[in-house]
Amino acid sequence: MKFEDLKIIEPIMKALQHKGYSQPTPIQAKAIPHILNRKDVLGCAQTGTGKTAAFAIPIIQLIHNIEKNADKPVLRSLIVTPTRELAIQIDENIQAYSKNTNIKHAVIFGGVKQGQQVSQLKKGVHILVATPGRLLDLIQQGFISLNHIKIFVLDEADRMLDMGFINDIRKLLKLLPEQRQSLFFSATMPKNIIDLSSTILKNPVKVEVAAISSTAETITQYLYYTNRTDKNKLLLHIINKHQIDQVLIFVRTKHGADRIFRFLQKNNIKSASIHGDRAQNQRQKALSDFKAKNITALVATDIAARGIDIEKLTYTINLDVPNLPETYVHRIGRAGRAGEDGVAISICEPEENSYIKDIQKLIGKKITVIDDNPFPQTEKPMTEAEKKEWNKEKQRRKQEFFANRKAKKTGGQQSKKDRPKGNKGKNKSDSNSNKIEKSPTSEKRDFNKSKPKKSKAPSFNQRKEKQGNSEKPAGKKRRSNTSMRKKLPPKLGEKYMWPLE
């Protein structure tokens, strides 16, 4: 099939040629005709399939046809997506596809001052790409009206729910006109997503391009089994041995991302880290340096696992194997985009062996294990008792670390009066830095500016509850480091790195 067969108008055709798109991808071939026919669409497609163009091209075409002769642009289409990076990327695509038309578009997201976004909105736009928090914020302030929206897109719906945006979406749906066309995209279609879609769509056409939760076929997957303490050395070995010049490395925590970043820098591998505690401009810089190949490695939490499009990225490495198999699928989907070849390497420590089983079950195939490994796995997963002890100890150390730091900062006199003003956010984000990063919480925080900042990221305790690991709340008494070390079974003390060391 060709784009001509989809009845794409000349100005867009030219832009597509300029982008080097010779023919539509399967999701584009399936979705574009329905969208141009003003049908609601329920699309199941993972990122990397050309999903953005599948909705952006027909939206631009429809609005171009309606608004050709209008004076001031009226907001006709709203595209809501979960992360700032994704929002920026969608807007960049809209810019590329609409450059030969008069379509005006803008992107809004939290974590930055609103001034520039507001002044763009005041000039008038046809298409707005937004993350939920900033969108609701600016609607509340009266800078955006949704009264004339004709086409509403909810992108990455499953990720939206994972990130706790469900209430924001519900609020938003109340503000949209009843009479509208809606497009709903999700990489996976579990029951809660289907339920949500049924509250948004009317008689939708279902468009699916890959089996649910399948991994792109162009990605070759490899697995190294190792010990926890050898992970960094093995990472270095893999990068050097294969002379990898661009790699996206996934880790579980923000603190872990910074630690690996420092480790790589020390070993002469130019790197950057990207996670929810970094300022928006730092995140953007890290990403653009990575895309421009100014750095070799980008160390990321799962904030970067979805939707981020790095052209011609070949390698992803899971330095922490994710406990949710779907997360694995999203992470490795960053490489091998749009039919290019990709390689996904996972480095698995004993505690993560069971995650590999879940992943293989989901993707329906075995991952090739690399035996040529100078740091093979020789240790066994912890027993339940050891795990419990380790978790307890970790919690205690964490508390002690922050207590010590607080005492240092205030010279031991932490009275309310003495506390420096205006650094609450900093302390909070620091204290979150060791948590598993599930969502860019700052986006949520931004909307709740006036409220005390509370992290939505799951605590260690919440995670352990999920794993069936009961643990008492952190103890009141603080012990010294040495006394704690004595209490810990010596084997464990040697075997595992502590999160704050």
Binding site for ligand AMP (CB under 6 A): 21, 24-25, 28, 47-53, 309, 311, 337-338
Rounded to a whole number of angstroms, the minimum distance from the CB of residue 229 to ligand AMP is 37
Quick one: 93 or 182, whose CB is closer to ligand AMP?
93
User: How far from 259 is each of 230, 266, 278, 434, 465, CA to CA, in Å?
Assistant: 15, 11, 14, 11, 27
**Distance between CA atoms of residues 89 and 127, nearest Å:** 14
Tokens of 181: 């066309």
Please check whether residue 157 is in contact with residue 306, taking contact to mean a CB–CB distance below 8 angstroms: no
Rounded to a whole number of angstroms, the minimum distance from the CB of residue 163 to ligand AMP is 18
Rounded to a whole number of angstroms, the minimum distance from the CB of residue 338 to ligand AMP is 3
Please check whether residue 337 is in contact with residue 48, taking contact to mean a CB–CB distance below 8 angstroms: yes
**Distance between CA atoms of residues 82 and 444, nearest Å:** 10
Give CA angle at 54 (107, 102), nearest 5°.
50
SS3 state of residue 458? coil
153: left (phi over 0), alpha (psi -120 to 50) or beta: beta
Rounded to a whole number of angstroms, the minimum distance from the CB of residue 359 to ligand AMP is 22
Rounded to a whole number of angstroms, the minimum distance from the CB of residue 171 to ligand AMP is 27
**Distance between CA atoms of residues 29 and 208, nearest Å:** 11
* Residue 70: its H or E element: none
User: Using CA of residue 183, residue 189, residue 191, residue 192, what is the dihedral sign?
Assistant: negative
330: amino acid identity, one letter: H
Among the listed residues 172, 153, 136, 197, the one whose alpha carbon sits nearest the alpha carbon of residue 62 = 153
**According to DSSP H, which parts of 68-179 are helical?**
84-97, 115-123, 132-140, 157-162, 166-175
Give CA angle at 334 (128, 339), nearest 5°.
95
Tokens of 235: 């990472």
Quick one: 21 or 496, whose CB is closer to ligand AMP?
21
Quick one: 302 or 309, whose CB is closer to ligand AMP?
309
Rounded to a whole number of angstroms, the minimum distance from the CB of residue 275 to ligand AMP is 21
Quick one: 47 or 391, whose CB is closer to ligand AMP?
47
Rounded to a whole number of angstroms, the minimum distance from the CB of residue 19 to ligand AMP is 6
Rounded to a whole number of angstroms, the minimum distance from the CB of residue 193 to ligand AMP is 18
Quick one: 53 or 172, whose CB is closer to ligand AMP?
53
Rounded to a whole number of angstroms, the minimum distance from the CB of residue 112 to ligand AMP is 23
Quick one: 4 or 311, whose CB is closer to ligand AMP?
311
Quick one: 215 or 433, whose CB is closer to ligand AMP?
215
Quick one: 56 or 239, whose CB is closer to ligand AMP?
56
Residue with tokens 């038309």: 101
Please check whether residue 184 is in contact with residue 157, taking contact to mean a CB–CB distance below 8 angstroms: yes
Quick one: 50 or 82, whose CB is closer to ligand AMP?
50
